[in-house]
Amino acid sequence: MRTQFLRCLVFICLASALVLPARGGQAPTQADIDKAVAEAATYQPGQSREPFRRFEEWVGQPSAGARKRLEAGLVRMLAPTSTFEARRFACKQLGIIGSSRALPALGGLLKTEETAGIACLALTTYPPGNADEILRAALPSAPGAARIQIINTLGDRRDAKAVALLAQTAADADPAVAMVAIAALGKIGNEAAWKAIASFSKDANPALQSALTEATVRCADALAGSGDRKAAMPIYEGLLAPSRPAYVRRAALDTLLRLDKEHAQQRILDVLHGSDSTLKPVAVANVQALPAGRASEVFAAELPRLEPQEQVWLIDSLAARGDGPACTAIGSSLAAPDATVRRAAINTLGRIGDTRSVPLFVSALDQSKDAEERRVVESALVSLRGGAQTDSAIVAALKKSSGNTRANLISALARRQGAAANALLLAETGQSDPMVVKAALRALSKTTTGVEAPALLRLLTQTSDAEVRSEAEGAAAQALARMDDPASRSSLVRAALGSAPNVNSRIALLGLLPGCSDDSALATLKAAAADGDTRVRDAVVRAMADWPNAAAWDALADIYRQPATESLRGLALRGLVRFVGEENAHPGAKLIEHYRVLLAGAREDADNRLILGALGGAAQPEALDLALPLLNNSGVRAEAEVAVKKLAEAIKAQHPKAAQDALDRLQAKPKAE
């Protein structure tokens, strides 16, 4: 069935080809071609290109006879009497349809500097053979720039028969000609070309050294690409010489190591044992590509003998190998004397290691005295493969550790397991070492689900260590925030307050009440405002100032109006200003009354500046009435002007007269205070 379908498809395609018109329409007559040649031969830039357009259409003619007539017409267009533009067009078209019949005419163009380039353009597309002969024959007598064009074309065509001629030309006294000839030999790149290039290397003009080096590289690459390793390898070895450019030497070594896999390991070792810093990065990078076997063991033994930067490179190559000896070597580098090497080993082992790496990291934590390095080890532990098995290994190590090491292991485990580690973290808060307890609390603040809130509140009230209490307060705040019911949060904190054994724990618990935000929590704060301890009163005012809504306004305003201390008044003012700033979104009489309370209680310019900063956002005319008098106060005039401008701009659409009056007032001279 499929065969029948394909036969039908072929038949349809053939039938379509018979009825479709040939590209370019009707074949041109000789008269058409003669006319077009005559018109095209006189073409100058800016004139109509119609003759050229007709030739471009005709070139697509399938008829062999038509193509032959066209070729003859294009050859006539190469005559010296034709303009340069006409001859260039003819060369371009002969590059498409030209045959050996056009070669003599093209060869004639090679004799002048003006036309050699366009002739080479056409000859580039010709198959090997006659065109190459034409080029070789023209080279000895070609003038100046024409020689360079011909040499380039012979190189681009990789004409093996031109090697002897190019070698002779490479000795030309003109450095430009010699350089192009050397480059052409490099493009040809066969063994004969290499021998010609090699004959110049020792005593060549220094100006030619760059061209000789590039040609040498081209020859080596060409020979290697053709499979002739025997000829290519000595060339690459010569390119390793210290006199060669660094980029050439590195590329040569890289290629040698790929070509000569049998001796690659020894070559790399020779470089590492030497003092050639240029080649060492390439040698080390190729360690990862060595065949399996004892390569990892061999270079693991070399690792500690290298310079620090070289060790870092080798760690990366061993990681790419990823076998047992490589991982063992990287693990050993965790204890390297150089911090850069240790850091590289830590990061690498974290990427490729597994459960077996846990003891190595624990040892690194024990030995490290650098906090940042321990954090890097911790992150590496987090990224280790092995899942639950690795988690278990970390837990086992944690039980045997203490101090900084235990703290880092706790953090790593929490980052690996998330909330699943909370039970263990809570157990760690019972340790006697404050460092361990703080680490557990910091981890819990990130992983808590809210279930841990009661235990965290108990720890907060029971600890006598101020730093532990602070961490417990932070963790408890996070735990409470993850509880959906405000009343439940409030109940837990108030119960803890009832049993708080000292002032410090009471203060910490009072700071948690704004996160509870129900009426009972606020009532507890109001009651505590009458406490005889100034520290407690300070904590109450801070908590009220942090209240999440304006429910605390009245209580805070009372403290603002009749403060026990100036410090408490300042705290109350900041809280009240925050409240009115949020109320600006809901303008009305209540908002203006609140601003009046604030301005009435202001005692110094700093108070008024703070209030004006919020007042500028109260978009109603009554707010202007409050701001305008402050223009007469030189201490706050700048802030008052800003507020008045903002208010006038905000209300001008609804209250144009009030807005304009306020702006006029800004221009008036301020009254003396």
Q: Give the model confidence (pLDDT) of 272-284 as tens digits.
A: 999 999 999 999 9
Q: Could you tell me the two tokens for 634? A: 């030189």
Give 16's pLDDT tier (boundaries 50, 70, 90): very low
Task: Convert the pLDDT of each residue in 473-524 to its tens digit.
Answer: 999 999 999 999 999 999 999 999 999 999 999 999 999 999 999 999 999 9
Residue 59 pLDDT: 85
Specify if 643 maps to a domain. Answer: yes
For the cut 80, the answer to whether the pLDDT of residue 463 exceeds it is: yes
Specify if 656 maps to a domain. Answer: yes
User: What value does the mean pLDDT take over residues 588-600?
Assistant: 95
Cα(501)–Cα(207) distance, rounded to whole angstroms?
91
Specify if 316 maps to a domain. Answer: no
Coil vs helix vs strand at 177: helix
Beta carbons within 8 Å of 76's beta carbon, 6+ residues apart = 37, 41
pTM value surpassing 0.85: no
User: Total domain count for the chain?
Assistant: 1
Specify if 103 maps to a domain. Answer: no
Residue 23 pLDDT: 42
For the cut 50, the answer to whether the pLDDT of residue 78 exceeds it is: yes
Give 206's pLDDT tier (boundaries 50, 70, 90): confident
Specify if 390 maps to a domain. Answer: no
pLDDT exceeding 70 applies to what percent of the chain? 95
For the cut 70, the answer to whether the pLDDT of residue 5 exceeds it is: no
Whether the Cβ atoms of residue 555 and residue 522 lie closer than 8 Å to each other: yes
For the cut 70, the answer to whether the pLDDT of residue 8 exceeds it is: no
Q: Could you tell me the two tokens for 398? A: 């944690």
The vertex-442 CA angle with 436 and 447, nearest 5°, equals 120
Whether the Cβ atoms of residue 61 and residue 67 lie closer than 8 Å to each other: yes
Amino acid in position 222: A
Residue 292 pLDDT: 76
User: What value does the mean pLDDT take over residues 108-131?
Assistant: 95
Whether the Cβ atoms of residue 85 and residue 52 lie closer than 8 Å to each other: no
Residue 276 pLDDT: 95
CA distances to 176, 426, 460, 508 from 469, in Å: 82, 15, 5, 8
Helix (H) or strand (E) holding 662: helix 656-667
Specify if 663 maps to a domain. Answer: yes
For the cut 50, the answer to whether the pLDDT of residue 460 exceeds it is: yes
Give 60's pLDDT tier (boundaries 50, 70, 90): confident
Task: Convert the pLDDT of each residue in 142-174 to its tens digit.
Answer: 998 999 999 999 999 999 999 999 999 998 889
User: What value does the mean pLDDT take over residues 588-601?
Assistant: 95
> Cβ-count burial of 3 within 10 angstroms (0-12 exposed, 13-18 middle, 19+ buried)?
exposed
User: What value does the mean pLDDT take over residues 650-664?
Assistant: 92
CA distances to 94, 114, 144, 185, 421 from 85, in Å: 14, 11, 22, 32, 83
Specify if 671 maps to a domain. Answer: yes
User: What value does the mean pLDDT take over residues 86-105?
Assistant: 95
Q: What value does the CA radius of gyration of the chain take, rounded to a whole number of Å?
A: 45
pLDDT, greater one: 27 or 31: 31
Residue 61 pLDDT: 73
CA distances to 135, 155, 192, 193, 219 from 196, in Å: 20, 14, 6, 5, 11
Q: What is the mean pLDDT of the chain?
A: 91
User: What value does the mean pLDDT take over residues 633-652?
Assistant: 94
pLDDT exceeding 90 applies to what percent of the chain? 88
> Cβ-count burial of 639 within 10 angstroms (0-12 exposed, 13-18 middle, 19+ buried)?
buried
Residue 666 pLDDT: 87
Host domain of residue 672: 577-673
CA distances to 352, 493, 500 from 381, in Å: 11, 36, 39
Nearest to 562 by CA among 528, 594, 601: 601
Nearest to 348 by CA among 288, 398, 438, 294: 288
Whose structure tokens read 């800004």?
A: 666
Residue 25 pLDDT: 57
Residue 321 pLDDT: 93
DSSP codes, 514-531: GGT-SHHHHHHHHHHTT-
Residue 75 pLDDT: 96
Residue 63 pLDDT: 83
For the cut 90, the answer to whether the pLDDT of residue 241 exceeds it is: yes
Neighbours of 199 (CB within 10 A): 13
Query: 586-614: string of b/e by CB count within 10 Å (b at 16+)?
Result: ebeeebbebbeebbebbeeeebbbbbbeb
Q: Could you tell me the two tokens for 186? A: 């490099």
Coil vs helix vs strand at 599: helix
Least confident of 3-12, 251-260, 348-357: 3-12
Specify if 58 maps to a domain. Answer: no
Least confident of 24-33, 110-119, 147-156, 458-467: 24-33
Give 671's pLDDT tier (boundaries 50, 70, 90): low
Cα(84)–Cα(619) distance, rounded to whole angstroms?
80
